[in-house]
Amino acid sequence: MKKTACESNKEGRIVNLSSKGHQYAYREGIRFDKINDESGYNSMYAYGQSKLSNILHANELARRLKEEGVEITANSVHPGAIVTNLLRHHSFLNVLANTLGKYVLKNVPQGAATQCYVALHPQVKGVSGEYFVDSNKAKANSHAQDAELAKKLWDFSLSMTNQN
């Protein structure tokens, strides 16, 4: 992407799909010391942790790209509550979502709108390290805005993939 952005003289855009579910991560945000601990696993908190990680990754990537002077932005988005099979392992919630969801949840094109906006719209040119909801900048929770936590996650991810 860096080479393409430089050669084409066009801004590259990275969009991380997150969720308002980032607000329901574990109390400490990311459980670095218990990342594979099955005994304390909770599906809702784990989902929140993963979505928090998506925001933190975009923020740290945005910081690093800006530091390098590269014309690539990195942002994260919440697509909204969409009728999908995400709840397939929670039978009651899945039935409820599929029955009532068509009346109150977004359909897939509506859910894709914010990603498309952040990826393509001229108004987002040069905007980086932000969190978007319904095609607008929004405020993520305090963990998601923690630059030290973002760097710690970045370094932790590198160590887990042996990229130090």
Tens-place pLDDT, residues 44-68:
999 999 999 999 999 999 999 999 9
Residue 116 pLDDT exceeds 80: yes
Of 142, 103, 135, 108, which is closest to residue 120 (Cα–Cα)?
A: 135
Amino acid at 9: N
Mapping DSSP to helix (H, G, I), strand (E, B) and coil, where does residue 15 land?
A: strand
The pLDDT of residue 80: 86
More confident residue, 94 or 42: 42
Catalytic member of 24, 41, 117, 131: 41
Q: What domains appear along the chain, each with residue ranges and CATH number?
A: 2-155 (3.40.50.720)
The pLDDT of residue 83: 73
41 labelled catalytic: yes
User: What is the 3-class SS of 111-145, one letter each residue?
Assistant: HHHHHHHHHHCHHHCCCCCCEEECCEEECCCCHHH
The pLDDT of residue 104: 77
Of 47, 33, 66, which is closest to residue 152 (Cα–Cα)?
A: 33
Average pLDDT over residues 118-134: 98
Confidence grade of residue 94 (pLDDT, cut at 50, 70, 90): low
Extract the tokens encoding 14: 């990275």
Phi–psi pair at 11, nearest 5 degrees: -70, 135
Mapping DSSP to helix (H, G, I), strand (E, B) and coil, where does residue 29 land?
A: strand
Residue 91 pLDDT exceeds 80: no
The pLDDT of residue 86: 61
CA–CA–CA angle 123, 112, 23 (5° rounding): 90
Dihedral angle of Cα 58, 44, 109, 113, to the nearest 10 degrees:
-30
Contact 117, 54 (CB under 8 A): no
Arithmetic mean of pLDDT over the chain: 90
Residue 105 pLDDT exceeds 60: yes
